[in-house]
């Protein structure tokens, strides 16, 4: 994209601060154009700045007789930041209509995901509200092949800016984030491109909307089809999904990337050869269904030994919980939950060197516990209610910027066993209800690439429904619109249905039955399995990966 500048262009202004780009025309045509619409707010910014900084102006012959119109010969905004320009424009703009736009996101230098997330934050701050995002995809470079792989995505934004003003602002954000364009289509720390602006067709020497190359680019259409698969490009009779399906298969196929910790590789849920991660369960509770009172929140020596054993046995994630959510459990208070989990997280982060690169997950449905746990060193928030039990949870997740596990559940631990009616089938209804929770998460500001899903085995499910989910996980992952490309966690460990099938009443002895469910989870496409018996289930997953996780 070209750097925002007013060089070689004419800017018409009037005393009310409204301006527009255009070629020379008659005064009547100029006035008619003004009446039709406001255009580039960047030019209105220019008028605001002109009133504060001396700049040469001259009367324009094309507007002779209209003293309120002036032609500004040259004005560059390159010395003003996007936040300064937004500050200026917000002080002078009339009420303007809202517009929907779609912006492509890309980076192939440095911490690529972090750079994209910074760009989204800067857009929010500049009055370009990020409403929804796609997943992020790692893609091979096009055109200039001698460069690193990109991370690409698309976001839907809401703004009252006109197209050129929007372009100016996102280019200012690129500059603020350190983008330096060395060669066309070459390496870049951040790349923001306007793909669509309402349903308008906009043509200008600096900007063409729809983006001219979008329909030939897999790395654009793939994420765009997560957001508006059934809409049609302006002037076309076929949908974006149809255009995407008509593209030749890319090689290599893009894979999704879900960050979970700065010190740990991201999840690649669409990579057929990806490993299954083992999440070790660390319950610091007296009443969990299979390991209550086994781990004390105050015995740091025993805690150290347990964590070291988890890591040595193959765990890559440790899920720490301070309240039981088994059926019929009684909730503890927030302060008690904090007392149980926060010291343990701090101890693991500061006193166990082996855990430096281990991911810590906080198992809680309370927003305050989640926030304090993240401050103490947690990387993931694992909410069994997907934000339903605490209205502050999803906004808190968005504010922390952490990844979140959204689990399907109905009711509370005390009522969920009575809420097992799925009139459309458990796969379809669980998929629909999880889609609703994703929508709620996005409305709270959580990026889609920060979401992991859990179908909630044993939570508001009976035995046949649990088995159906294990049997048809692949359908849930890929066959429900809105859930594609997302990573999944499965938590079958020692569950009641395993005991019923095997006749093993003592939960801690359900290892063999759990092994079968872990294998089924791998076959179905799970990215993470949450287990008690870490050493044994690591071996099960390792062999299952060798059989089923191949290119």
Count Cβ neighbours within 10 Å for each residue of 57-75 and write b for 16 or more, e otherwise: eeebebbeeeeebbbbeeb
Residues facing 108 on adjacent strands: none
Helix (H) or strand (E) holding 360: strand 359-363
Q: Cα–Cα distance between 255 and 250 in angstroms, integer?
A: 11
Residue whose token pair is 């089924």: 520
3-class secondary-structure state, position 277: strand
Task: Count CA within 13 A, CB hemisphere, residue 222.
Answer: 23
Four-point Cα dihedral 154, 160, 165, 166, nearest 10: -10
Please give the helix or strand (H or E) that residue 174 lies within, else none. Answer: helix 163-176
Residue 418 annotated in active site: no
CB atoms within 10 A of CB 153: 30
Six token digits for residue 39:
């255009």
Q: 24 to each of 28, 189, 205, 206, how far by Cα in Å?
A: 12, 38, 16, 18
User: Among the options 366, 461, 495, 496, which is catalytic?
Assistant: 495
Residue 138 CA to residue 153 CA, distance in Å, equals 9
Q: How does DSSP classify residue 4?
A: P
Tokens of 168: 């100016």
Short-list 326, 299, 315, CA closest to 533: 315
Whole-number Å distance between alpha carbons of 243 and 220: 11
C-beta of residue 359 within 8 angstroms of C-beta of residue 340:
no
404 Cβ contact partners less than 8 Å away, ≥ 6 residues apart? 380, 381, 382, 383, 397, 441, 446, 450, 451, 452
Which long-range contacts (C-beta less than 8 Å, at least 24 apart) are formed by 73-77? Answer: 74/6, 74/7, 75/6, 75/11, 75/46, 75/49, 75/50, 76/5, 76/6, 76/7, 77/4, 77/5, 77/6, 77/42, 77/45, 77/46, 77/49, 77/168, 77/172
List the structure tokens of 4: 């925002």
Residue 535: exposure state from Cβ atoms within 10 A (0-12, 13-18, ≥19): middle
- 530 flagged as catalytic: yes
| Cβ atoms of residues 182 and 144 within 8 Å | no
Q: Can you tell me the distance from the alpha carbon of 258 to that of 11, in angstroms, rounded to the nearest whole number?
A: 44
Query: Which residues are known to be catalytic?
Result: 495, 530
């Amino acid at each position: 994209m070209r750097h925002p500048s007013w060089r070689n262009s004419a800017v018409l202004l009037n005393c009310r601060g409204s301006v527009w780009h255009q070629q020379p025309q008659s005064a009547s045509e100029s006035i008619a154009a003004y009446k039709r619409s406001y255009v580039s707010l960047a030019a209105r910014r220019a008028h605001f700045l002109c009133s504060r900084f001396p700049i040469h102006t001259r009367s324009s012959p094309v507007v002779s007789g209209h003293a309120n119109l002036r032609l500004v010969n040259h004005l560059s905004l390159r010395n003003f930041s996007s936040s300064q320009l937004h500050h200026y424009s917000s002080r002078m703009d009339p009420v303007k209509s809202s517009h929907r736009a779609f912006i492509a996101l890309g980076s192939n230098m440095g911490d690529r995901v972090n750079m994209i997330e910074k760009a989204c934050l800067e857009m929010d701050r500049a009055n370009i509200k990020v409403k929804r995002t796609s997943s992020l995809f790692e893609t091979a470079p096009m055109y200039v092949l001698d460069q690193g792989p990109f991370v690409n995505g698309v976001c839907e934004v809401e703004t009252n800016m006109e197209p050129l003003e929007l372009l100016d602002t996102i280019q200012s954000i690129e500059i603020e984030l350190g983008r330096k364009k060395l060669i066309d289509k070459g390496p870049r720390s951040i790349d923001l491109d306007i793909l669509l602006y309402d349903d308008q067709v906009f043509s200008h020497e600096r900007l063409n909307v729809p983006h001219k190359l979008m329909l030939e680019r897999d790395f654009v259409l793939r994420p765009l089809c997560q957001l508006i698969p059934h809409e049609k490009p302006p002037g076309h009779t076929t949908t974006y999904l149809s255009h995407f399906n008509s593209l030749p298969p890319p090689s290599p196929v893009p894979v999704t990337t879900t960050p979970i910790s700065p010190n740990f590789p991201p999840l690649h849920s669409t990579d057929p050869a990806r490993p299954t991660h083992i999440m070790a369960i660390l319950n610091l509770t007296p009443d969990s269904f299979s390991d209550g009172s086994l781990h004390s929140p105050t015995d740091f020596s025993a805690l150290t030994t347990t964590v070291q054993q988890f890591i040595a046995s193959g765990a890559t994630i440790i899920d720490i919980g301070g309240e039981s959510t088994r059926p019929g459990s009684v909730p503890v208070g927030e302060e008690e939950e904090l007392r149980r989990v926060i010291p343990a997280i701090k101890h693991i982060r500061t006193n166990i060197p082996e855990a430096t690169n281990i991911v810590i997950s906080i198992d809680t449905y309370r927003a305050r516990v989640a926030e304090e746990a993240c401050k103490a060193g947690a990387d993931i928030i694992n909410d069994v209610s997907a934000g339903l039990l605490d209205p502050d949870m999803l906004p808190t997740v968005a504010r922390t910027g952490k990844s979140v596990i959204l689990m399907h559940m109905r009711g509370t631990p005390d009522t969920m066993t009575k809420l097992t009616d799925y009139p459309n089938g458990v796969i379809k209804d669980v998929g629909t209800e999880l889609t609703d929770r994703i929508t709620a998460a996005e409305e709270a500001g959580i990026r889609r690439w920060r979401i992991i899903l859990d179908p909630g085995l044993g939570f508001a499910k009976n035995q046949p429904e649990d088995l159906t989910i294990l049997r048809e996980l692949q359908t849930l992952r890929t066959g429900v619109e809105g859930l594609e490309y997302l990573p999944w966690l499965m938590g079958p460990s020692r569950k009641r249905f395993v005991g019923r099938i095997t006749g093993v009443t003592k939960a801690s002895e359900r290892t063999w039955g759990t092994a079968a469910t872990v294998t089924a989870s791998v076959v179905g496409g799970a990215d993470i399995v949450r287990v008690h018996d870490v050493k044994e289930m690591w071996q099960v997953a390792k062999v299952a990966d060798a059989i089923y996780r191949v290119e």
